[in-house]
Structure 1
Amino acid sequence: MLLPYGILEMCGRQFWIEPTRYYDISQFANKFLPPVSKTILFNKVLLLNENKKDSMANIKIGHPFINELLFQAKLIDHGLGSKVQIFKMKSKKKFRKRFGYRTKYTRLQFESILTKQSFKNFDLLIEK
């Protein structure tokens, strides 16, 4: 049996999200985030496939988003990715330049898919 999955929009990109898996998001580290081990809610759900045994295909598609669903994630870690080396050279001009950088990333573990009705103060928990 397949796990339920959804397509979520974060940081201008779309991610295939399955509960109980973790993801490294590169552009998320620059924005203000709560400290490690806090729970974050995401409301920009584009698609949800529930994959239940009784129904063959139970797919919800948003226009553009599904308003009644939330993804709950736990912030695991902030870190630096692998180093990227950049080397520039112009032939016959004796120009050589070498530099590099390490991208910042945020590791999120998605725990569950929630409904809007399970929160009383829904408007206070999400960012619009």
Structure 2
Amino acid sequence: MTYAIIEIGGKQLWAEPGRFYDVERMEDESGTILELSQVLLINHEDTVTLGHPLIEGATVRAQVLEHRKARKVIVYKMQPKKKTRKKNGHRQLQTRLLIEAISLNGSVLAESAQWKLSDLIVEADEADTEADIDLTPPVESADV
């Protein structure tokens, strides 16, 4: 299992290729590909690379999927015996990122195996009939 620990939005995040994560709101548009260079640690095939504080030449490629709001948090303030009550709600703005690849010194250590819509469109143009199109994503072998 390959993973990286990155710093984004002032927080540290355990990132694996093919998974999505909700982080603090970013100004990038949906569909934008980001190269995150604040990599603190990389674990690849039982080899751990640790930075002081960052790893030189390490990047994590991520795609911005969407901008959204988190679940509502209710803030309720009350002063007993004073008939004072105040109820507020807050929804934090978030950006959902899909981690596509982890690379070190230009070589890709791990990449997402998920299929992409653009690959299906090209495949559909080349196919003669709808029955020739395979819509199932590739399956990784599970080491149990």
TM-score bracket, shorter-length normalisation: 0.7 to 0.9
2:70 partner amino acid: G
Is the aligned partner of 1:16 residue 2:14? yes
Q: Which residue does 1:75 correspond to in 2?
A: 64
Q: Which residue does 1:111 correspond to in 2?
A: 100
- Tell me how far apart the structure 2 counterparts of residues 86 and 34 of structure 1 sit (CA, whole Å): 30
Percent of residue pairs bearing the same amino acid type: 36
Shift of 1:34: 2.2
Q: What do residues 86-106 of structure 1 show as CA deviations (whole Å, max 9, x unaligned)?
A: 111111111111111111110
Is the aligned partner of 1:101 residue 2:90? yes
Residues 23-42 of structure 1 aligned to structure 2 (within 5 Å): 23-25=21-23, 27=24, 29=25, 31=26, 33-42=27-36
- Tell me how far apart the structure 2 counterparts of residues 46 and 79 of structure 1 sit (CA, whole Å): 27
Shift of 1:116: 4.3
**Structure 2 SS opposite 1:66:** coil
Shift of 1:115: 3.6
Q: CA RMSD in A?
A: 1.3
Gaps of 5+ in 2: 108-144
Q: Across the two proteins, how many residue pairs are aligned to each other?
A: 107
Instruction: Select the structure with the greater relative contact order (CA < 8 A; seq sep ≥ 6).
Output: 1
Q: Which residue does 2:118 correspond to in 1?
A: none
Structure with greater proportional strand content = 1
Is the aligned partner of 1:49 residue 2:49? no
Query: Match for 2:74 among 65, 85, 97?
Result: 85
TM-score (normalizing by structure 2): 0.70
Q: What do residues 38-94 of structure 1 show as CA deviations (whole Å, max 9, x unaligned)?
A: 10010011110112xxxxx31111011001110000000001111111111111111
TM-score (normalizing by structure 1): 0.78
2:14 partner amino acid: W
Q: Which residue does 1:5 correspond to in 2?
A: 3
Q: Which structure's CA Rg is the greater one?
A: 2
